[in-house]
Amino acid sequence: MKRLLGVLALVFTAILALSGCVNMNAEVNVTGADQATGALQVTTHQENLQGQPFEDVLASQLNTDELDQILGEQWSYTTVDDGENVGLRFETVGKMNFVQLQDAFNTFGFPISLTDKGGEFEFSMPGAGEVVVNEQFTEANLVVSFPGKVVSHSAGEIEHHSVAFDMMAGAEEYKATGSANYALFYSVIFGGALLVLVLIIVLAFAPKGAKDPSGH
């Protein structure tokens, strides 16, 4: 970012010292009404480590005690190695409400905003002038996912239920609106109604008890 903050500043500086290039991928995943999760991954190409173990090299550059203190109870992190890239992946500790997720992303210097518009969820984040990608990033992407379809977006590209923003290309503002997923809701309603109908039919055609010959 233009002004690296907190965790991102620590990790960016550490990986930059190792290789001179940094890739960043952030994820905002809206899972339902006032519920969301987040993730952020910072990596470099494995070949830049020249055969050295990532954990050993990173330990010489990064103060993990300081990192843990900044993360608090909002984020957990693990090392990643997909055979091509190595680095750190941060994930929110479970689902959060929208305000909690906004606060969590502020730790990284991302002033995101999430709003429930009554069946639709709106994501926004300032672009040029407030959130500008540092020129030493080689890749910087932000993916926002919704439980239902994408309704509208500015900049970025739609990928299924997500909008992917290329932060290297930049934008005046990053915005996306997605719908709730009503498919499960309707399937539950339909399934419940069908069950009631089956019970009514079964009871209607069930054999009646034999009449008591005593008249009782």
| Closest by CA position to 72, among listed 7, 165, 25 | 7
Which pLDDT does position 170 carry in this prediction?
A: 87
Give percent of the chain with pLDDT exceeding 70. 74
CA pair distance 164, 142, nearest whole angstrom: 6
The per-residue pLDDT for range 86-104, each reduced to its tens digit, is 999 999 999 999 999 999 9
The pTM of the full predicted model, rounded to 2 decimals, is 0.79
Q: How many CB atoms lie within 10 A of CB 153?
A: 19
Domain ranges of the chain: 6-181
Nearest to 157 by CA among 169, 148, 203: 169
Closest C-alpha to 38, from 3, 1, 7, 84: 7
- pLDDT of residue 125 exceeding 80: yes
Confidence tier at 185 by pLDDT (50, 70, 90): very low
Tokens of 69: 């203190």
| Pairing label, strands 120-126, 173-179 | antiparallel
Residue 56: HSE in the Cβ half-sphere, 13 Å Cα cutoff: 5
Side by side, which strands form the sheet with 120-126?
113-116, 120-126, 173-179, 150-154
